[in-house]
Structure 1
Amino acid sequence: MLNRNLPFHLEDRTGDFMGSDFDEIYDRLFLTVSRPTPSHPDAETTLLVYDTGRRSSSRRQAHAPRDVQPTVVLEFGVGGALGTITFVRSGSGVPMSHFLRRTSMFSGSLSRKFTASNGEEYRWIHRAVKDQEWACVDSHDYVVAHYNLRPPEKPAYNTSGNLLTIYEPFTHLAVEILATLTIMRYLAAHKY
């Protein structure tokens, strides 16, 4: 019997924020972040987030599913600058800097907040919670999701060791959580 109260544990197959499959270990959710096809004019600065509805293969690099439309489009600017986040279903595109705002005027770029589709505000913080690379907290500082990369010194057996955990009351926000985490990881990689 499936316990729906378990957190969703999404294995990040590659650990690469520019493209990976996120397969829930109990087969409840399957997400992908990938680049458009190489022939697409913005293939270098665009990432697509998909809710694929099925497990990926064990391939090493994520590819856009052929029969699924992206849920979110992340278009970055030149030189690692922020661009636009578009939620495909609603067709609304918003500048990333307005959607994922710094938590305060003096905070670093790796502490940002966003208002999710449920109207609540959430905040991403980098290495502020012990043993978590990234943590997403609500307005009461309750951890709703966290992300960890496998430490290089730890062996990988039949999994990548990279894990995005989303707690059960917040799984309906999984696509938004993954999209904003991808932006946060992009900011960290580009030292923005």
Structure 2
Amino acid sequence: MLNRSLPYVLEDRTGHYAGSDFDEIYDRLFLHVSCPPPSRTADYAETTLMIYDTGRRSSSRRQSRPALREPSVVLEFGPNGALGTVSFPRLAVSAPMSQYLRKTSMFSSSLSRKFTASNGEDYRWVYRGVKEHEWTCADSRDYVVAHYTLKPPDQPSYNTSGNILTIYEPWAHLATEILASLTIMRHLAANKC
């Protein structure tokens, strides 16, 4: 049987987990990761990231204009790179990151963790577990649902950054949760937690 679904291929414009736009190449999904806008910084810790579903390509909006929507996800990290709290404002759900994104086993690396998505299913992120993927996300049956790749530094970049988050179509409705959990995983790797 042929799989005719088209994966969501999101270009990560900067490759930095703490601030970037993720624009789907076929204009189906547009996500943005950033610090809180200046008008809201008093409400959040210094190490807070917000994920927005912007509804339009990053190049079609002015960078100086603050996001008009409420964030889909708020990630409040602790001091010195420690894990903090993850919140989903639209769902009125909040949890400590260490409970939301749990180690896959007692002896596993901190870069192998799982989370339970809003659909009740468990998903697991692994760092460099699959050749050519920086990060791979699989479900409980080991189907790859998403993966993230960074452009190798020795490859030239032309009109794209070369950094790609791929989310397979059956799991596209979990895109903000996949990006939130990936952002936490990349934070763990960057801070060597």
TM-score (norm: length of structure 2): 0.92
Q: Residue 81 and residue 64 in structure 1: after superposition, are their counterparts in 2 closer, same or farther (change >3 A)?
A: farther
Partner of 2:31: 31
Instruction: State the partner residue of 1:172.
Output: 173
> What CA distance in whole angstroms lies between the structure 2 residues aligned with 1:99 and 1:20?
23
Structure having the higher helix fraction is 2
Residue of structure 1 equivalent to 2:21 = 21
Secondary structure of 1:181's aligned partner: helix
Structure 1 unmatched ranges of 5 or more: none
- Between the two proteins, what is the percent identity of the paired residues? 69
Q: Any stretches of 5+ residues in structure 2 without a counterpart?
A: none
1:151 aligns with 2:138: no
Output aligned runs, 1:1-192, within 5 Å: 5-38=5-38, 40-41=41-42, 42=44, 44-57=46-59, 65-192=66-193
Q: How many angstroms apart in 1 are the aligned matches of 2:12 and 2:64? A: 14
**Worse-matched range after superposition: 160-169 or 30-39:** 30-39
Matches of 1:133 and 1:154 in 2, distance apart? 16
The alignment's TM-score, normalised by the length of structure 1, stands at 0.93
Q: Is the 8 A contact 1:34 1:64 kept in 2?
A: no
Alpha-carbon distance in structure 1 between the residues aligned to 2:88 and 2:153: 34
Residues 64 and 175 of structure 1: is their aligned pair in 2 closer, same or farther, counting only changes over 3 Å?
farther
Q: How many Å apart are 1:66 and its aligned residue?
A: 2.6
Check whether the contact 1:124–1:135 (CA below 8 A) recurs between aligned residues: yes
| RMSD, aligned CA | 1.9
Instruction: Give 1:47's aligned amino acid.
Output: L
Q: Alignment length, in residue pairs?
A: 188
